[in-house]
Structure 1
Amino acid sequence: MPVNAVVFSPDGSIIASGSDDKTIRLWDVDTRQPLGEPLRSHKSSVLAVAFSPDGSRIVSGSFSGTIRIWDAGNGQLLGAPLLGHDLAVTAVIFSPEGSQIISGSADATIRLWETETGQPLGDPLRNCGGPVRAVAFSPDGSHVVSGSDNNIHLWEADTGRPLGEPLRGHENWVTAVAFSPDGSRIISSSGDETIRLWEADTGQPSGNPLRGHEGCVSAVAFSPDGSRIISGSADYTIRLWKADTGQPLGEPLRGHEGWVNAVAFSPDGSRIVSGSGDRTIRIWEADTGRLLGEPLQGHEGAVNAIAFSPDGTRIVSGSNDNTIRLWQGVTGRPLGEPLSGHESFVHAVAFSPDGSRIASGSRDKTVRLWDADTGQMLGESLRGHAGEVKAVAFSPDGLRIASVSLDETIRIWEANNGQLSGEPLGSHQSLVLSVTPPSDASRTVFSSSDRTLQIRDADSGQFYFYLLLIA
């Protein structure tokens, strides 16, 4: 039966998975052995699972609309089912300090629950206008923002009390919502070709819509210091905006000849990297929008994956031309020759936490490890998957690599020697498509439309290594 969700515990020692077989399973990462019996109680498919920030509890949501809390140490149920949703629970997550649980459902409501008792906190957060597509906690965990159809909703996390009326203004679907790094503002992008800024405290619009794009705004992000906004669009352009006024900063960044699929700031906020369907990568000066050098050309197929190294000095990209390329993070100068070895499309690339290694996953069913400094392959290909590898990620300590494949298995490898660590986790017979560590330093965000989940500790800043799966 398909696996709908799988996640590492905060310390990386346990994996929890939820499946259409109505069970949750716990696994010991080091030994690959199941921990006790499957957690049984749900009467229908388990669609979402999450660990509490301290790793002591697990919350799960099911197709039948029920939520359950479990003791992660012994697998025992904690209290009665959390009942209230009328349709499938598509997303669950703990608040940053672990005292509350938030759930999103196909019944177009968001609910808040007290973790210790499982009691609902106030009335459901209603009037979303449709299934909840995206939810984000503010950095301090006090507020929740959600996007649904054309509307955005702001809520008080402690009580579930709506903060004002829905944030109305978009005339098409909301593609993304996010808090600014300091939690004072919300940004949203939409298929209506606009970006909107909102005051997080009041839900009031902050200025007029940011207009200029002539196509769906597909990507939007705050700079690390919150002073600027970057957006990418189907109109092939990237735009920079002043976050406090919404005024455009210079002219649109033109150069791509295809839909801009992704944009990202470098860790220090000085540069922007963009990837496009035109097979190129471009680096821009964030302060001026000036293109830094020529397009990063070399790939002969679509660029499927791109990432900055942890220190921002390098960029790695993977492509349908079967190669991986390294680029200097400031100038875009190619670093050495293409990393060749894969025999088909490269779907995923990831830097190790210390930036010394790169892991890649390919349609050729293999995972490969590379020396990030020399571009040399480290050891032999990691073979074991019977289907194309769709995603790879390092554990926070860099000692393990997780890979997921269309062969319906999850595999964990020793990063130092490339050895498979035990048998594949495949008891649920799932179609697994993605795996990633969380990317946000201050908030917890999840989307109910694809049942993905990302968590990072708001106090310590420690990454929690999570697998994000779509079954």
Structure 2
Amino acid sequence: GLGAGAVAASAGGLGAGGGSGGGRVQVRSVVDGEVLFEARGTTPANVAPGGDDRLVVVCPVGKAPRVLQTAGRRLVRGSWERARGVCGVDSAVVSGADGRFAVVADGEVRVWDARTGDRVAELHDPGVRYATFGRDGGFLATAGSADEIRVWRLSSPDAPVLRHPLNNQHLRGGLAWDPGPPVLRYLEGGTAHTLDLTNTVTAAWRDRPVDGVLLSPDGRLFATATRTAPGTPTGPGTGTGTGPGFRFELRDTRDGRLIRTLPSSLAPPQSSDPVPQMAFSPDGGRFVYGVTGPGVRGAPQWFTVWDVARDREQSVLDLGRSRSGTAVTALALSPDGRTLFTTRTSADGEPSDEQWDTETRTRTDTPTGRGLAGAPLALSPRGEPVVGDNRVARGRTGRSVALDLVQGDHISALAFSPDGSRVAAGDRTGRVALWDGDLRRRAGVLRNVFPAPLGRTPEAVSALAFSPDGHTLAVGGDAGTVQLWDTTTQQPLGGPLPSPGERIASLAFTPDNTALLVGGGHVPLHRHTVAPARTVAQVCARAGDEDLTRGEWDTYVPDEPYRRVCD
């Protein structure tokens, strides 16, 4: 990476540095010193040889970047020529693999591809000073002087995939990627720090995301929904049509193995933007799924209840047969699969909720008064209550009452503990509240769940999950942050876990409480080891199964007495 300095070298054997005259920069071969390129009116930080040494990127102060071939100095045309004024005295140019380069200036990082001439990404990164491309040019690491290190996936640049706080450490010499494994290093004082980015720079990323992903509460299965081509045959009760459909699949979380491709569902007729809807019962034994069409009233909305244990269809019902006929926005299913709770927006714009008997396929209750207010929706493992957006319904009447779950903002995620004794509610400002299982008493509010936002909009809570013993709460955000919390002390457990950097759609712990499972559109299943014994084993393996010396222990673990942990 290149922040500011007098000399920079490329991997292929070219060096850029200040010449003898003011404002002059030369590119020389480090083999024989031959001058291959010279530029005036700029600084060494604003000149960078390309990754393959065939190109040189120059950023003249007050102008747009220029890309030239080192042989013949022929100008390479591209969209960067329209970025007038982006180059400044304090800006810097960074080159990467496959013709990619970036200009760092004024809290922005602009990335272009010299091969295609197109702009790849534009990153909003306040305080950025250093930047460096990953080995294949698909990732970019950035840092300020004493803020945090951020890693960005350039194909999805809206938010960083990793935010590593520096905690008052001051970088000296920028950042560097390891040429082999996905490891990032930085120098601070006399210490070289290493960040393992295996879980961040994951090969499991798919450019075309699934349309929906949901982990079962018991952590044994995960479901995905993927749009299919028009006219695809569908399952019982749904017929075959010409509109788009969705393929629903159940997979094993241990190895991703396909368990069942479920009978698919067609979108409601005339729906231009169909949405798949899915829900597991609180114990994970039943699964309900279907497709709704926002803006389309009175059309069929076929939903299937699947018995997971017996691997068979339990019921198929049309949720379009309701008074409003509007799209279903959230679902909750009882453990036996007999009762289905739904929310939707009524004809007058107010949310309403319904209760269905899946055996008779009829609506059994339409509560009066304001409904549970749309997504999300959660049902206690005990069978009641049902919780929605600052509403709770208790008893068989289904009538909901208002309840300020967090601090007045809209609720974006809900979760019950496995035994139903606790409830967690997250809102769009990133706060999480803990309640008792009957929602009679609020136990506390977890503030500052996520790091400070890069922009003005805070990261919203998008997923929640309790560990099997209820002592740990996992919180996921819509910018990709995952944080563990101790529910007793209401304190965070370590820092944010590395993730692929997309909206966290679903969370669950494995039944043995050794791993946290994370689901997203681009990476449907991601795993983090959370059992202390297994974490220690992984750290020891990384260290060659050798214990720290007493001197090393005093340096890295000064507040604990020395002991051997890798035996």
TM-score, normalised by the number of residues in structure 1: 0.49
Q: Which has the higher contact order (CA 8 A, sep 6+)?
A: 1
| Greater share of helix | 2
